[in-house]
Amino acid sequence: MQPPWREGHKFCCMKHHLLILFGLLAWTLGTAQNAVTRGKELFGDLKARHIGPALMSGRVTDLELHPTNPKVLYAGTAGGGVWKSSDGGARFNPIFDDYCQSIGAVAIDPGQPDKVIWVGTGETWTRNSVSIGNGIYKSVDGGINWIKMGLEKSERIAGIAINPKNSNEIFVAVLGGLWSDSADRGVYKTSDGGKTWEKILYVDAKTGCADLAMDPANPAVLYASFWEFRRTPWSFSSGGNNSALYKTTDGGKTWNKIHNGFPGGKLGRMGIAIAPSNPNILYTVLETEKDQDRGLYRSDDAGASWKQLNKDFGIVVRPFYFSRINVDPRNPDVVVKCGLTGSISRDGGKTFRDLGPMHSDIHDIVFAINDSERIFAATDGGIYRSWDGGTTMEIVENLPVSQFYHISVDNEEPYNVYGGLQDNGSWFGPSSSPGGIEARDWHSVGAGDGFRVLPHPGKYLVYSEMQGAENVWLTDVAKNQVRTIQPLAAPGDPKLRWNWNAPMATSVHQPDRFYMGSQFLHKSEDMGNTWTKISPDLTTNDPAKTNAAESGGLSRDNSGAENHCTIFTIAESPLAENIIWVGTDDGNLQLTQDAGKTWKNVAPKVAEMPAGTWVYHVEPSRFAKGTAYVVFDGHAQGDFNPYVFRTTDFGATWTSIITPDIEGFARNIQEDLQNPNLLFLGTEFGLYITTNGGKTWSKFTNNMPAVAVHFIDIQPKTNDLVMGTHGRGVIIIDNISILRQITDEVLNKELHFFQTGPATLFDENSFGGTSGETQFVGANPSRAARIIYYLKKRHTLGKFTMEIQDANGKTVAELTPGKSKGINIVEWGFTTKAPKVAKGQTLSFDAFTTPRATAGKYKIVGQKGNESFAIDLEVRNDPRSELTAAQRSQKEATQQKLFDMTQGLAYLVYELDEIVKTAQQVEAKNPKLAKMVAPVISDFTKLKETLVITKGDNYVGAGEPQLREKMAKIYAGFASSFFAPTANEMANFQYVESAYTQAQRDFTALKNLHLPKLTGWLNKNQLPALSIQPFDVFLKQP
């Protein structure tokens, strides 16, 4: 936008001048105000932390190997972005966090493999829960920075082929829309490195390019498979008359079908692979009308003719989910086919055997560039690597791309997070754990695909389920007992229809109450033992949408994923147990205010809300009975707009709270527990927050990838915002209570301190975790005191300091203030200054222990440029502490004595060293005195040898511990203990104290004996007098 004064305003008179000036000022302030309320600029230091888990990982869609460097590989994932390994696949790092996390294809430019990487977004393994893409991206620096290069409407990109001789020439396979017609499908070509694209092969709006292969020896030769397919919320169809395999030999100008040897009729999804060592050998897998025609076909004449070789289960299984084939780069007869287990042939495709045990559902298999024994596989449960040609597979352990459908939290300390994962069961794990949250911290509470997992509100019991509520479990975690509790059909019941992701709910009013939704709402008051239907069929019960058993197209695919006309969300009002909201996948939003006696469909009837749109989530308000938020999701009908409405009158009227700030369709909204204007919205591209009830929304991007947020909860004790993401595991923003205090007034202040309440000295320590460096470890929350303030502008020029003062104004710690515009969080781990320690030959590691601050009142005192400020901070003891006041005071007093003794000893040793140094100067100046000086030096040196270690190193060459080491040991014991001093410790303290007193006496005696002589020698030899710095000056020295 051009500021108005750049448009040639001329000031003609003072009055006019002032008017314009004030106009400009208003404009500037307006701009500034808008600027500060947005995203990063508001959230500042408020950062998300990722806790994984990674032990089961998540769906990986595409693997890509660097063509010359065997250490480098890339992985595209279903919902967790792109990851790069630079160590041969031992560890991976995310490199695509700011962009769409659903990845179809990754490609490395063979001409510039260290630099140019392409990412096509939008997964192409088109299961019911698949996400969407938003175009193609390019990096020219090995994945550090990314530029979007168009194809925004492609929805899903199946392949990218780059001319090895011309980096500007790239072919892209656009599979296109899954739930709608699209004219954007087809093969695209750029000749200018992605600046412009030309669609060079298009079939129709239903048929997209599912695979693309370029002849490595002749880049003008390409093969493209086209696939007719469509999904609706209640069906899937693979195959049609327009599915075909095409070939071009002129760089895409002309394409011909190459079906010689294929059966007639409709075809489904086909993979295509060229043997790199002999480009005349091709492999494809056909999905056909007749079972006997399916399977692996091979051509030995570059596609001129084909021969069917194999139709084993592993080859023909679920073509829409597994169609990829790859060939060993060194041997044209070694072929791998993705599938339920993954298959490998060593006889040119005639016979196959399964790859070794790993997570099922294999989407890509690649051979390392220099060694065919090294194989990597992309599965629904992460990346596996093999060192023996695929017989033994081991999982990559630092890939937290788990796909949660739902999460919940309990009220334990630390609280646990519960959730279910795509093809990876149901789990719970702690929000904090010694050394970080590791694989071993997670507990399995369900098999199959996992969805909703809810803790019993009062007992150590967990509800969980598998797809379509085939099983709903109640696990007694303490006893290791699982029982199955799902509502079963009773006489007179129709078939119960359960969503793939069937809803369940507990109640804040009745701890043993448990709800489940089929087409009916089922209620149990005894944790699932006894069930009552408390509704009629709440769905549209449309016969056209309840034929999931016929789903699949050419290959029957009745997994339950297409069950429709089902209840999807259930929410009992936290304010009144008779108020229950139910949302269905076919667009009904049902409300009862009498616990199910009567129901009313109150779906918003506004023009922008298409009828029949999936009701994804209802959030009844905590603040008013008639208020609720509802999230509709139309993506499975090809509508990617977000829909969120609020009612304040039990659904009679609805207001949209969506603004153009929001990108991506929404699935979940969470109302804050205290501030009704603070709302959190999960969309397909990340988290959005409003602090003004939905008038404006800001995207939260601090360590928060653009990942699909499927469910959000707030833990009431910690005020942590906990997100279940579908691709990056559980992500937490610790303590969002600060956001409750955001107002326009705050945002217009130069510096504003937020109320944080008292800080707690948690009595916790541990030896940490057990994970190795190749394993993911989730971040713990900070236990430090947090000083939180808002800065209107980043501090860059001039000094900005901050310190903590105790009640007497004494500085106990210096802090480094945050400098960002927006929210700054400065942490103080309650550490105060460490004692100054006697200098020895070695370091005393115990003496590095810093005393922890004690409970009481403190002040944060700061100086920012010329501005000074002071804020109070209260520190309180851990409420769990068992120390009595008398014990605490004894502990603190003893610890302080040891601290003072440590510094006293340091000063004594310093003084002693100065005396010895001075005596040595006398000796040097007047060698005749050597004999007389020698006993002085020797007496002091002997004393020193009992005070500090004077020989050896910091490892096993260390000398015997002396007074410093003994003193430091008991000092560190006190400083790091949460317990009352024991008799053992007090006796040792007395032992050290008396040794110290004796050392002081001995030192004084030696000084009395020797210093008069030394002073005399110094005088006589015109040497400067012995100079000892005062204690306080000594303490300040490095």
Partner 1 sequence: MKAIKLLFFLVLAAGSALAQVTTAEEVVKKYLEATGGAKWNTLEGVKMEAKVSQGGMEIPIEIVQLKDGRTYTSITFQGTKIMQNVFDGNVLWGTNFMTMKAEKSDAEATGMFKTDLGDFPSPFVDYAAKGYKIELMGTESIDGTNTYKVKLIRKPYTIEGKEVENVNFYYFDADSFIPILLETEIKTGQGKGMISQTTMSDYQEVEGLYFPFSMGQGVKGGGSQPLTITKVELNPKVATEAFTLPADK
**Binding stretches for partner 1 (CB under 8 A):** 3, 5-6, 18, 21, 24-25, 28, 31-32, 36, 39-42, 44, 69, 71, 84-87, 91-93, 114-115, 141-142, 144-145, 703, 773, 791, 793-800, 813-814, 816, 819-822, 829, 831-834, 837-840, 842-844, 847-848, 850-851, 953-955, 957, 1038
Least spacing, CB of residue 859 vs partner 1, in Å: 18
Least spacing, CB of residue 787 vs partner 1, in Å: 14
Q: Who contacts 728 (Cβ-Cβ below 8 Å, separation ≥6)?
A: 50, 79, 80, 81, 101, 400, 401, 402, 705, 707
Task: Please give the torsion angle defined by the CA atoms of residues 197, 201, 205 and 209, in that order, rounded to the nearest 10 degrees.
Answer: -90
Of residues 371 and 413, the one with the C-beta less far from partner 1: 371
Nearest-angstrom CA–CA distance, 313 and 101: 32
Q: Who contacts 785 (Cβ-Cβ below 8 Å, separation ≥6)?
A: 756, 759, 827, 828, 829, 830, 873, 875
At 513, the amino acid letter reads: R
Of residues 28 and 196, the one with the C-beta less far from partner 1: 28
Least spacing, CB of residue 624 vs partner 1, in Å: 35
Least spacing, CB of residue 796 vs partner 1, in Å: 5
Paired tokens of 151:
């194809």
Of residues 21 and 934, the one with the C-beta less far from partner 1: 21
Paired tokens of 79:
């919902």
Of residues 91 and 318, the one with the C-beta less far from partner 1: 91
Instruction: Return the sign of the alpha-carbon dihedral for residues 998, 1004, 1008, 1011.
Output: positive
Least spacing, CB of residue 166 vs partner 1, in Å: 22
Least spacing, CB of residue 798 vs partner 1, in Å: 7
Of residues 50 and 1010, the one with the C-beta less far from partner 1: 50
Of residues 14 and 488, the one with the C-beta less far from partner 1: 14
Give the three-class secondary structure for 598: coil
Nearest-angstrom CA–CA distance, 46 and 35: 17
Paired tokens of 564:
């429709």
Least spacing, CB of residue 816 vs partner 1, in Å: 4
Least spacing, CB of residue 687 vs partner 1, in Å: 16
Of residues 112 and 218, the one with the C-beta less far from partner 1: 112
Instruction: Return the sign of the alpha-carbon dihedral for residues 453, 456, 460, 461.
Output: negative
Paired tokens of 814:
């210096």
Backbone angles phi, psi at 967, to 5 degrees: -65, -45
- The distance between the two most distant Cα atoms of the chain, rounded to a whole number of Å, is 118
Least spacing, CB of residue 1004 vs partner 1, in Å: 23
Of residues 66 and 617, the one with the C-beta less far from partner 1: 66
Of residues 147 and 987, the one with the C-beta less far from partner 1: 147
At 615, the amino acid letter reads: V
Nearest-angstrom CA–CA distance, 999 and 1002: 5
Least spacing, CB of residue 959 vs partner 1, in Å: 13
CA atoms within 13 A on the CB side of 189: 18
Least spacing, CB of residue 821 vs partner 1, in Å: 3
Of residues 115 and 259, the one with the C-beta less far from partner 1: 115
Q: Who contacts 208 (Cβ-Cβ below 8 Å, separation ≥6)?
A: 156, 158, 173, 174, 175, 176, 177, 182, 185, 186, 226, 227, 229
Least spacing, CB of residue 1033 vs partner 1, in Å: 14
Least spacing, CB of residue 813 vs partner 1, in Å: 7
Paired tokens of 664:
């991506």
Backbone angles phi, psi at 671, to 5 degrees: -85, 140
DSSP 8-state secondary structure symbol assigned to residue 437: B
β-pairing verdict for 235-238 and 244-248: unpaired
Of residues 42 and 365, the one with the C-beta less far from partner 1: 42
Of residues 44 and 239, the one with the C-beta less far from partner 1: 44
Least spacing, CB of residue 607 vs partner 1, in Å: 37
Least spacing, CB of residue 971 vs partner 1, in Å: 14
Cis peptide bond upstream of 927, omega within 30:
no
Partners of residue 147 on adjacent β-strands: 138
Of residues 45 and 228, the one with the C-beta less far from partner 1: 45
Paired tokens of 728:
């990056």
Cα distances from 551 to residues 237, 290, 556, 562, 901, in angstroms, run 7, 17, 6, 7, 81
Nearest-angstrom CA–CA distance, 802 and 889: 29
Give the three-class secondary structure for 286: strand
Cβ(148)–Cβ(135) under 8 Å? yes
Least spacing, CB of residue 412 vs partner 1, in Å: 26
DSSP 8-state secondary structure symbol assigned to residue 893: H
Least spacing, CB of residue 29 vs partner 1, in Å: 9
β-pairing verdict for 235-238 and 552-553: parallel
Give the burial class of 745: count Cβ atoms within 10 A of its Cβ; 0-12 exposed, 13-18 middle, 19 or more buried.
exposed
Cα distances from 255 to residues 243, 244, 252, 568, in angstroms, run 14, 11, 7, 46
Of residues 42 and 999, the one with the C-beta less far from partner 1: 42
Task: State the residue for tokens 């509802």.
Answer: 630
Of residues 20 and 595, the one with the C-beta less far from partner 1: 20
Cβ(648)–Cβ(637) under 8 Å? no
Cβ(524)–Cβ(539) under 8 Å? no
Of residues 335 and 791, the one with the C-beta less far from partner 1: 791
Nearest-angstrom CA–CA distance, 164 and 110: 5
Of residues 773 and 960, the one with the C-beta less far from partner 1: 773
Least spacing, CB of residue 925 vs partner 1, in Å: 24
Of residues 984 and 1027, the one with the C-beta less far from partner 1: 1027
With CA atoms as reference, report the closest residue to 942 among 968, 962, 970, 923. Answer: 962
Paired tokens of 324:
């990829």
